[in-house]
Amino acid sequence: MKEYMDKAEKYLLKTYNRYQIVLDKGDGVYLYDVNGKKYLDFAAGIAVFALGYGNKEYNDALKAQIDKIIHTSNLFYNVPAIEAAEKIVKSTGMKKVFFTNSGTEAIEGALKVARKYAYNKDNTKEYEIIAMNHSFHGRSQGALSVTGNAKYQEGFVPKDCVAVFADFNDLEDVKSKVTENTCAVICEPVQGEGGVFPADPEFLIGLRKLCDEKDILLIFDEVQCGMGRTGTLYAHEQYGVKPDVMALAKALGCGVPVGAFVVNEKADGALVPGDHGTTYGGNPLATAAVSKVYDLYEELHLLDHVKEVGAYLDKKLDELAQKYDHVKEHRGVGLIHGLEFDQPVGTMITKAMEQGVIFINAGANTLRFVPPLIIEKEHVDEMIHVLEGLIKEL
Ligand SMILES: *Cc1c(COP(=O)(O)O)cnc(C)c1O
């Protein structure tokens, strides 16, 4: 492994401090490094691999698509993109889909929709977007401008940055930041990277009302909390609050790089031909994956499964939070959970890896649990056993 890691540091731009393992393959909810060591995966490639590794039906669908055609460009129609878009529209009750290659690009597109929506009303070129503190929306200039994390923004925020930040779950704070230039409010129904913070129902309900009153767009970033992660296909379903624009990615393609932004009736028509584009976005390989993902979620009754195993994980993490003073708080829903400690969790993550369990963090002091959605209760027990041992060592 050392040889590979040395080579990686030699050739890959150093923007990550990577964990010291080289992953090689996966099987179900387990990963294997190049030495053949097995790891129980509670990260799923950062909430991506919902179906676990090596789902035969999924792999076969991709292999078949590779043999047919991988790429066509958006100058032509292709069947997988049409079918995938139909599934997204029917499952959201929204109107239209634009496919991207990543979550960041889905956010970029959503922001453009909001700006254009305002522009179409009165030709205004002045825009402000209200975003939340501790949010995460991506690393491009636009997505970064609405990411409420000083560490990520430092040195990179564009000069014409139009974002104004409010406190998550503080409706009065959001209201106080609205001006005549506000064109959108963007938030994650469950903040992921920021530390796993689910929104309060009153907050999202209040945002919906506010955006309707002001005729501005409500953008939900469901890149991490969408695609069944919370136990409903989309997190906002649990709140009974619908966005005008929604961003999806991560588990949307279950491993194939793909994202999407979805618009409702109100936001549809903001962008017209020529306003937005992408070479790869919605290519047949990526959208064949999306289409298969939607089919498999149904076939496997995955949402029911997430509710059941999610409730079990919830109970087990609650028990740890009650038992150990080092655990400050447990937050989460479905199969996205965070355990906040009174100290940084980096060492615990490294030790867990040595013992064959993969965790990631969400902020310095919070362990994040975003396993493949096919995880079973016995895997939760296996993980809890290792985790409890590590908490006792603190
Ligand atoms: C990961 C993430 C993004 C960015 O997605 P990429 O695919 O990494 O570009 C945006 N928003 C949220 C909520 C995310 O978790």
Taking only the tens place, the pLDDT of each residue in 258-300 is: 999 999 999 999 999 999 999 999 999 999 999 999 999 999 9
Distance between CA atoms of residues 179 and 128, nearest Å: 8
Closest by CA to 125, choosing from 115, 135, 134, is 115
Distance between CA atoms of residues 1 and 189, nearest Å: 39
Closest by CA to 204, choosing from 256, 143, 246, is 246
Distance between CA atoms of residues 249 and 287, nearest Å: 12
Ligand 1: nearest atom to the Cα of 107 = 10
Distance 327 CA to ligand 1 centre (A): 27
Range 69-72, long-range pairs (CB < 8 A, 24+ positions) = 69/284, 70/283, 70/284, 70/285, 71/280, 71/283, 71/284, 71/285, 72/283, 72/284
Q: Which stretches of 45-137 are assigned E, i.e. beta strand?
A: 96-100, 128-132
Which tokens is 41 given? 């995966």
Distance between CA atoms of residues 328 and 344, nearest Å: 12
Q: For a substitution probing ligand 1, which of 46, 134, 137, 139 has the most ligand atoms within 8 Å of its CB? A: 137
Token pair 């597109």 in the structure block, residue:
109
Ligand 1: nearest atom to the Cα of 102 = 7
| Enclosing H/E stretch for 322 | helix 302-323
Distance 253 CA to ligand 1 centre (A): 13
Q: For a substitution probing ligand 1, which of 224, 246, 254 has the most ligand atoms within 8 Å of its CB? A: 224
Ligand 1: nearest atom to the Cα of 259 = 7
Ligand 1: nearest atom to the Cα of 224 = 15
Give me the pLDDT at residue 132, please.
98
Ligand 1: nearest atom to the Cα of 47 = 15
Distance 84 CA to ligand 1 centre (A): 20
The residue whose CA has the least distance to atom 11 of ligand 1 is 137
Give me the pLDDT at residue 112, please.
97
The residue whose CA has the least distance to atom 5 of ligand 1 is 103
**What are the pocket residues of ligand 1 if the criterion is a CB atom closer than 6 Å to any ligand atom?**
102-104, 107, 136-138, 188, 192-193, 221, 223-224, 249-250, 259
- pTM here? 0.97
Distance 280 CA to ligand 1 centre (A): 18
Give me the pLDDT at residue 159, please.
73
Task: Point out the residues of the chain with pLDDT beneath 70.
Answer: none
- Looking at this protein, which amino acid is placed at residue 66? I
Vertex 280 angle, CA 278 and 282, to 5°? 90
| SS3 state of residue 336 | strand
